[in-house]
């Protein structure tokens, strides 16, 4: 009997030890020093709108070569805002040598840096700003050769570059090659049909020179972008806008000494000298942690508090019981259990905090005929089916009080755009407020989707509008003739559209009528969604692209700002304005795993769990637990989703998951599920599109 009791005690001790290891392991992952500097290295980190799937990361790893780390833009801005409130953070430093951000993304990141500067103790540098001292933030580059690169740097409290380097502010420009003449040399002719004076996405293929209207509209758009850059650099460096324009228009390269004299730099230092200066200015703090590491630590602390505290309570109780059985008074164990019980109660309260959903649509909107299968769309594509499923999952989720729809697309197929527009309407009609946050570009089909929302927020540098439609057909008959190829064509009924012969006048008229019909439908949606008269819509439409700053005066958007501003407005629409100010609202992403869970497609969930485990083992970055490369914690997450019976073979971790209870496992599982997302594809820099599907596989594009 004594042997049985002893065995029972040892078994409980083993379980207690295994359970206790989980919070110990996680604490190691989230522990940060008392004082440190947060670092964002854009020379090795790419900020993106959407994450990468496990499949894409594995494929990228197999290709070999240097791999750049990716960090979600929203995570970067949120982490910087967290750092502004964190007394342990002594400073913020960034290497902006290889910034590839768009103007809108730069503005969104700069807004977070401005919050950091405002809330931290000011710097006391040799080169004081006319606008006063700023926070302990520092930017460095080997050299400055791009205006947007320097724009980001100017937001920091101090800016340095290498002594022998030069600084150049080239302004903004756009070069569009018109290749119609070259195509005709080969017997190829592209015929463009558009609805909208400025809808000229196909003009480079069909024309030899740009139209005056297109040239003027592009010039106006660039002028707006440049004015924003000048204004923000002037504000950041304490210079007049006139002086910044003079420096940008003079051309050439400024040496480090000349740039410092012009107050564009605070000095010229080598990297080691810069690092020493940052440490000194931050109170002799030399310890640095990357923004990614800091974000992970903060995220882990918040997302796993509930689960970890439940495990700690269990650990303390088991330790106390074990000590009692051995005849030892377990006062410390009881105290520990009580303390962690209080924290667990607080964590349980956090689980009831109001939540706002987030759905990100990025890339080209693809035709529904190309959208086959299930699961998330490919990288750089927006699938009407996937968007429909995500929006449906959001409006059927009782825990979500509002939804932020992040749109970053130049457009695409009209029918698919309209299908997504309809789902946004249904989401609003279901009582869930929807606010659109525009990324680098939200034009054409992307703007059609946006007008279905309650409100639209855009950055000043966002490219939007492009309310128009275009289509076209490539005539290869001349090329076939050159190559002495003849084509036999047999048909019944109306002659189909094809490239073997030029468009007939009747076919051209039919295409024009179809484009106009699609355009009128587009204008009607804009008018109804934005509350604009027909005349106001016509003024803003005609296929013209606007910056966010221009769009607000036309009534196309409601406010200027980034994702944070959109979240604020979504909270206000849901009656959560006070909770937003208190920081007690959670922004949670709606992803394909939510769709799979609702539909009962457990194969998708199983893939997600395997992604967590593989991400932890391989060191592949992902959200939640997998982001911390902790394989053991990933096993707990797997147990919570698949059930402890499915992971009993994992030994003591299965026992730990079972002992921790379903609630603890559910929190860990929710934090650890790998989001199946896609990467940015740079489409923001391409002309906005709207495509309307036609018979015979021909599509209207814009």
Block mean pLDDT (10 aa), the chain, length 702: 47 47 48 89 91 58 63 95 94 92 96 94 55 77 92 95 92 90 93 91 91 93 96 95 92 89 95 94 90 87 55 51 44 49 50 88 88 72 92 95 97 94 98 98 97 98 96 89 87 73 88 94 97 97 97 98 97 95 90 73 51 45 34 39 35 33 33 27 37 40 46
List alpha helices for 461-601, DSSP H. 477-482, 505-530, 534-540, 548-553, 563-573, 577-582, 592-599
| pLDDT score for 373 | 65
- pTM for the full predicted model: 0.78
Strand, coil or helix: what is 152? helix
Phi, psi torsion values for 639, nearest 5 degrees: -65, -40
125 conformational bin, left if phi > 0, alpha if psi -120 to 50, beta if neither: beta
Closest CA to 236 of 271, 201, 263, 256: 263
| pLDDT score for 487 | 86
**Beta-bridge partners for 192:** 472
Phi, psi torsion values for 685, nearest 5 degrees: -90, 0
Task: Report residue 204 as tokens.
Answer: 């480079």
188 conformational bin, left if phi > 0, alpha if psi -120 to 50, beta if neither: beta
Same fold, 36-170+251-297 and 355-486+496-589: yes
Distance CA 376, CA 383 (A): 8
| pLDDT score for 405 | 98
Domain ranges of the chain: 2-30+304-352+592-672, 36-170+251-297, 355-486+496-589
SS (HEC) of 513-536: HHHHHHHHHHHHHHHHHHCCCHHH
Q: In the Cβ-directed half-sphere of 302, how many Cα atoms lie within 13 Å?
A: 17
Distance CA 223, CA 513 (A): 34
**Beta-bridge partners for 39:** 93, 290
Q: Which residue has the tokens 């409130």?
A: 85
Write the class of the CATH domain 36-170+251-297: alpha beta
Would you list the DSSP string of 483-506? TT-------SSSPPP-TTSPPPHH
CATH match for 355-486+496-589 among 3.30.470.10, 3.90.226.10, 3.30.465.10, 3.40.50.300: 3.90.226.10
| pLDDT score for 397 | 93
Q: What separation, in Å, do the N-terminal and C-terminal C-alpha atoms of the chain show?
A: 83
| pLDDT score for 93 | 97
Phi, psi torsion values for 263, nearest 5 degrees: 70, 20
Closest CA to 137 of 39, 25, 2: 39
Residue 676 contacts by C-beta under 8 Å, 6 or more apart in sequence?
A: 53, 54, 375, 376, 591, 592, 593, 604, 607, 608, 611
Task: Report residue 620 as tokens.
Answer: 């592949």
| pLDDT score for 77 | 96
Residue 168 contacts by C-beta under 8 Å, 6 or more apart in sequence?
A: 144, 145, 252, 253, 254
Instruction: Report the sign of the C-alpha dihedral through residues 458, 221, 451, 192, in that order.
Output: negative
Q: In the Cβ-directed half-sphere of 23, how many Cα atoms lie within 13 Å?
A: 19
| pLDDT score for 161 | 96
Give Cα 19 to chain centroid, integer Å.
36
∠ CA 544-545-551 to the nearest 5 degrees?
Answer: 105
| pLDDT score for 536 | 98
**Beta-bridge partners for 356:** 402, 587
What DSSP character marks residue 685? G
Q: Which residue has the tokens 């009528």?
A: 513
Distance CA 409, CA 689 (A): 9
| pLDDT score for 489 | 81
* Residues 418 and 696: beta-carbon distance below 8 Å: no
For residue 257, give Cα distances in angstroms to 130, 138, 477, 686: 20, 18, 61, 37
């Amino acid at each position: 009997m004594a042997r049985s009791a002893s065995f029972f005690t040892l078994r409980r001790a083993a379980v207690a030890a295994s359970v206790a290891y989980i919070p110990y392991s996680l604490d190691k992952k989230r522990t940060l020093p008392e004082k440190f500097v947060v670092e964002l290295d854009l020379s090795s980190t790419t900020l993106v709108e959407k994450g990468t799937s496990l499949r894409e990361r594995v494929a990228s790893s197999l290709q070999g070569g240097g791999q750049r780390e990716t960090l979600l833009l929203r995570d970067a801005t949120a982490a910087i805002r967290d750092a502004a409130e964190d007394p342990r953070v002594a400073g913020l430093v960034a290497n902006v040598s290889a910034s590839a951000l768009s103007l809108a993304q730069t503005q969104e990141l700069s807004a977070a840096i401005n919050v950091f500067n405002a809330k931290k103790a000011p710097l006391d540098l040799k080169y004081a700003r006319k606008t006063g001292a700023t926070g302990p933030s520092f930017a460095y580059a080997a050299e400055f050769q791009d205006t947007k690169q320097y724009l980001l740097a100017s937001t920091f409290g101090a800016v340095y570059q290498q002594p022998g380097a030069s600084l150049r502010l080239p302004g903004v420009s756009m070069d569009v090659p018109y290749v119609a003449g070259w195509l005709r040399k080969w017997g190829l002719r592209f015929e463009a049909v558009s609805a909208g004076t400025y809808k000229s996405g196909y003009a480079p293929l069909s024309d030899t020179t740009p139209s005056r209207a297109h040239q003027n509209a592009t010039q106006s758009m660039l002028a707006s972008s440049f004015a924003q850059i000048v204004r923000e650099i002037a504000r950041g460096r304490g210079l007049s806008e006139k002086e910044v324009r003079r420096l940008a228009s003079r051309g050439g390269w400024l040496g480090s000494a000349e740039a410092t004299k012009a107050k564009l730099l605070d000095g010229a230092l080598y990297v080691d000298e810069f690092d020493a200066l940052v440490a000194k200015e931050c109170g002799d703090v030399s310890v640095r942690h990357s923004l990614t590491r800091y974000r992970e630590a903060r995220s882990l602390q918040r997302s796993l508090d509930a689960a970890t505290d439940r495990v700690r309570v269990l650990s303390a109780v088991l330790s106390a019981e074990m000590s009692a059985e051995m005849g030892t008074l377990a006062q410390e164990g009881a105290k520990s259990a009580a303390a962690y019980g209080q924290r667990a109660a607080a964590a349980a309260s956090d689980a009831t905090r109001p939540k706002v959903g987030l759905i990100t649509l990025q890339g080209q909107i693809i035709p529904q005929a190309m959208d086959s299968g299930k699961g998330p769309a490919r990288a750089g594509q927006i699938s009407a089916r996937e968007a429909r499923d995500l929006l449906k999952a959001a409006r059927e989720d009782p825990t979500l009080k509002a939804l932020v729809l992040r749109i970053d697309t130049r457009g695409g197929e009209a029918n698919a755009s309209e299908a997504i527009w309809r789902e946004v309407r249904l989401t609003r009609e279901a009582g869930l407020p929807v606010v659109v946050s525009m990324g680098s570009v939200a034009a054409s089909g992307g703007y059609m989707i946006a007008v279905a929302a309650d409100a639209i927020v855009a950055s000043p540098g966002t490219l939007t509008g492009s309310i128009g439609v275009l289509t076209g057909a490539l005539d290869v008959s001349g090329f076939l003739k050159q190559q002495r190829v003849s084509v036999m064509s047999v048909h019944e009924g109306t002659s189909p559209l094809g490239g073997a012969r030029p468009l007939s006048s009747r076919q051209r008229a039919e295409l024009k009528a179809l484009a106009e019909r699609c355009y009128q439908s587009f204008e009607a949606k804009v008018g109804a969604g934005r509350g604009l008269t027909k005349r106001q819509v016509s003024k803003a439409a005609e296929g013209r692209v606007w910056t966010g700053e221009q769009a607000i005066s036309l009534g196309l958007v409601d406010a200027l700002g980034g994702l944070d501003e959109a979240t604020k407005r979504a909270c206000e629409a849901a009656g959560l304005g006070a909770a937003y100010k208190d920081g007690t609202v959670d922004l949670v992403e709606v992803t394909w795993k939510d769709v799979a869970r609702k539909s009962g497609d457990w194969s998708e969930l199983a893939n997600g769990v395997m992604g967590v485990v593989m991400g932890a083992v391989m060191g592949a970055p992902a959200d939640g637990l997998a982001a911390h490369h902790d394989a053991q914690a990933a096993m707990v997450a797997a147990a919570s989703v698949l059930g402890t019976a499915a992971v009993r073979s994992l030994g003591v971790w299965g026992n730990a998951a079972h002992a921790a209870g379903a609630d603890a496992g559910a929190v860990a599982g929710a934090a650890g599920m790998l989001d199946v997302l896609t990467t940015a594809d740079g489409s923001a820099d391409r002309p906005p599109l709207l495509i309307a599907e036609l018979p015979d596989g021909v599509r209207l594009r814009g």
